[in-house]
Amino acid sequence: MTDDRRPVAEDLDATTLIELVRHYSPSGEESAAVEYLVGRMDELDFTRAYADGVGNAIGVMGEGPRQIILLGHIDTVQGEIPLRISQLPQREGTGVRALYGRGSVDAKGPLAAFTDAVAALGPVEGWQFVVIGAVDEERDSIGARHILDMYKPDFAIIGEPSQWNRVTLGYKGSAWAEVTVSRPVEHTAAQGQSAPEVAVDFWNRLCTWVDEFNIERQRVFDQLLLTLRGFASETDHFQDSATLRVGVRLPQDVSPDEWYARLEQTSEVSKTSEVSCEITPTGFPIPAYKAERNTPLVRAFLGAIRAADGKPGFVVKTGTADLNIVAPIWDCPAVAYGPGDSSLDHTPNERLSLVEYRNAVNVLMNVLKILSRSNS
């Protein structure tokens, strides 16, 4: 059964979520959503609300010297999904409604929950709660990188879907590179390998090494996850070349530098007096990150989830998030949390249960209460 009415403020406790999702904001086009969120924070009596120098939405509640950062991201992947509220299939909860729309899960749901939880709690003496809707997370995380040196929080919560009763402790790292093989043009009847053939041999050797590395590693979080995202060849009739676009998800015990060194070692087999093989790192390499379980922040989440009649759990993920970027620099207890099923990330069926959203808001509000009262 579908509720065909236009979802607006009558879903009062989900207004922030609904209106934020309504403002479609793929990476690079976040300004309208940022303007909405800043205005919404003003409506909700944040102490200050503004857009910073790179376009992040910033909302500050309170004036205290101690600080909790709630860092979400306001950009989404491409592909607008018509906004609607519909009943979920009965197997997912009788009478439960969900908001369908791009970003409802990844990650406007968590960001809106941050906003509503901080607004519901209000200012706490001695503390400052800072909600950040960062831009560009789905690409190069310009928003998160911009704020690295601006804050030194006591605790950090990163907005990513984990389901309301689970806490994400870690994400794998990532590294990208282009591998370019070049050689002089030969007649097609010659016996030497062409540049594309050399590039394919490189890829096969790399796959074999990764398989051997992973063979005794049972958990995906501990494995190297290799991907080939592009293959192109060209010639100017004097020189042939072939380029592979290679990506990897990294475990904690392999740094980006170590991975690039492995690519160089693998390429050495391809090199001859006539054949060159060049490794060019691309984008921003990101090390893996995993938080400790026994911190005041984790304990606060466990208590808040139990208080909401939930059974808390932990998860580590094979993707990469802004947690990887900010947590090592801020050097404080940090986790990722937010409502939503991450298997719906980036899909045409992206949706968020409104019951789950409300549960997450309550959990977050209680987490902030616990941290600000027990760590004063």
> Which of 375, 373, 372 shows the shortest CA–CA distance to 129?
372
Tokens 């995993």 belong to 290
Element holding 120 (H helix, E strand): helix 108-121
**DSSP per position, 159-187:** E----TTEEEEEE-EEEEEEEEEEEE---
Residue 345 burial by Cβ neighbours in a 10 Å radius (0-12, 13-18, 19+): middle
Whether 75 is a known active-site residue: answer: yes
- Strands 239-250 and 97-100 come out as unpaired
Judge whether 197 counts as a catalytic residue.
no
Please pick, among 106, 136, 137, 356, the residue that the annotation labels catalytic: 137
Q: Six-digit token pair at 150?
A: 């601006």
Q: Give CA separation, 326 vs 57, 69, 331, 347, 368, in Å.
A: 17, 11, 8, 27, 20
CB 58 within 8 A of CB 132: yes
Active site residues: 75, 137
